Chain A
Amino acid sequence: MSQGKSALLVMGCPEVPVQISMVIYLAHKLKKAGWDVTVAGTNAPVKLLKVADPESYYVQKMADLDQTIADIVEKKYDYDICFAFMHSDAGMTYGATFSAISGARLFAVVFGKNAEALGESIDYPAEKIVAVATHNPAPLKNKIDKVAL
């Protein structure tokens, strides 16, 4: 049962194309399964998402990444599950931060050219979803579809 449960999708830098596609896909999939979904990111990925989904059909709640971290640290809010998208060292660092500050079940969604090496270097508590995917979202989508929630 996921009714009433909350999910956070954390977007990293949007320079790898599959991220926005997978965030929209996963947000929609979780919403249909009854999850209350929030997507957090910095200005760049949030703008991309708003343009792609102008009437908020797929993503209803968006949040600023820094404010989301502040709210979790100050215990104003937390989530039941969190998918942190990452393809770079900075993305990994954000993933480690969410692992440390949040009580959510954390999924590290690792993609891009160096996904395998990045995935292996994750040593904080997280369930890893790793796929070498940059332009073609299918490898990442297939792995996300296998996640049991």
Chain B
Amino acid sequence: MSCIEQLKYRLYLERTSFKEAREYIEKNSEEVYYVDPGYRIFKDYYIIGIPPVAMGVRGKELLFTYVKPCHGTFVMGIDSEEEIARLRENEARKVKGSLKKADKAKAEPNSAPASFADIYRK
């Protein structure tokens, strides 16, 4: 059992589908971030989910999905400024990574530059 169940949590949805849980987080959070399945929170809980896995921030509270095989999906809320900061950092790293990729793609075009003579012949 994950340590999450021993933390002070609030349940917002119980025994629902993953899709409904994701929609709840998207509609009820001030900030929404998308993580890959397996993203770790609270030391030893690895998020189970169908991508895109939404995680929300509402004030000091982190909203996330918690899946149990026999009981379905739950939306949980736990106050944790530390986890929220880590989530924001994770997002910033992703944006930085995708910007780097975009810069690289601009610098290295796939096709070789065309000469004026080639274009003129067409």
Contact = CB atoms under 8 A, between A and B. Distances in A.
B51 A70 contact: no
A96 B37 contact: yes
Interface residues of B, number: 21
Interface string B110-122: 0000000000000
Chain A interface mostly helix, strand, loop or mixed?
A: helix
A66 B49 CA distance: 13
Chain B interface mostly helix, strand, loop or mixed?
A: loop
A64 to B, nearest CB: 9
Given A89-B18, A97-B37, A100-B36, A69 B48 contact: yes
Nearest to A91: B69
Nearest to A92: B50
21 contacts: A12-B69, A42-B68, A42-B70, A66-B1, A66-B2, A69-B46, A70-B44, A73-B40, A88-B72, A89-B17, A89-B72, A90-B18, A90-B69, A90-B71, A90-B73, A91-B69, A93-B18, A94-B67, A96-B37, A96-B50, A124-B50
